């Protein structure tokens, strides 16, 4: 049984009736989920996202594009949790990264979404969502 003990948790796979989320919890803003007919108390917050985590291949490709854009040294660690800003990306870098992702994955990203992507994982998740819509 999932229990939300704080204000951060992300349900990282789709839930069916009665199914318990098995993946790692990381980063939800607010959730109110019926599981087995019972609702969890909704946490006070603004945003609500439930979606599948991106495939590792997608995450890796995003890491590569980010490395290239920011000209990171080989020993610099870039993972799903990496925040663009912490890697030294400014707004122009972020826009170029998004443009690189659009070209690589054949998608089109709205400007409003472009700057709300702050980590590699968020970029990868958004890419798969957009690919799924095509």
Task: For another protein, give the closer residue by CB, 45 or 76.
Answer: 76
* Residue 90 annotated in active site: yes
Rounded least distance, CB 16 to another protein, Å:
34
Q: Which string of DSSP letters, residue by residue, matches the chain?
A: -----SS-----S---TTPPP-SPP---S----EETTEEPPPPS-S-----PPPPHHHHHHHHHHHHHHHT--TT----TT-BTGGGT--HHHHHHHHHHHHHHHT----HHHHTT--BHHHHHHHHHHHHHH-
CB 52 within 8 A of CB 13: yes
Q: How far is the CB of 25 from another protein (least distance, A)?
A: 21
Smaller CB distance to another protein: residue 11 or 101? Answer: 101
What is the nearest approach in angstroms of another protein to the Cβ of residue 7? Answer: 17
Residues of this chain that interact with another protein (CB under 8 A) are 68-69, 76-77, 82-83, 86-88, 90-92, 95-96, 99-100, 111-116
Query: Closer to another protein at the Cβ: 32 or 91?
Result: 91
Catalytic residue among 75, 81, 90, 125: 90
Positions marked catalytic:
90
């Amino acid at each position: 049984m999932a229990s939300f003990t704080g204000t951060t948790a992300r349900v990282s796979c789709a839930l069916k009736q009665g199914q318990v989320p098995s993946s790692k919890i990381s980063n939800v803003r607010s959730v109110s989920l019926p599981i087995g007919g019972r609702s969890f108390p909704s946490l006070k917050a603004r945003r609500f996202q439930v979606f599948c985590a991106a495939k590792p291949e997608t995450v890796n490709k995003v890491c590569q594009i980010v490395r290239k854009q920011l000209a990171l040294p080989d020993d610099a660690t870039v993972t799903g949790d990496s925040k663009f800003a912490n890697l030294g990306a400014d707004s122009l870098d972020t826009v170029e990264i998004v443009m690189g992702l659009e070209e690589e994955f054949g998608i089109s990203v709205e400007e409003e979404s472009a700057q709300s992507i702050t980590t590699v994982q968020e970029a990868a998740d958004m890419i798969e969502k957009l690919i799924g819509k095509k």
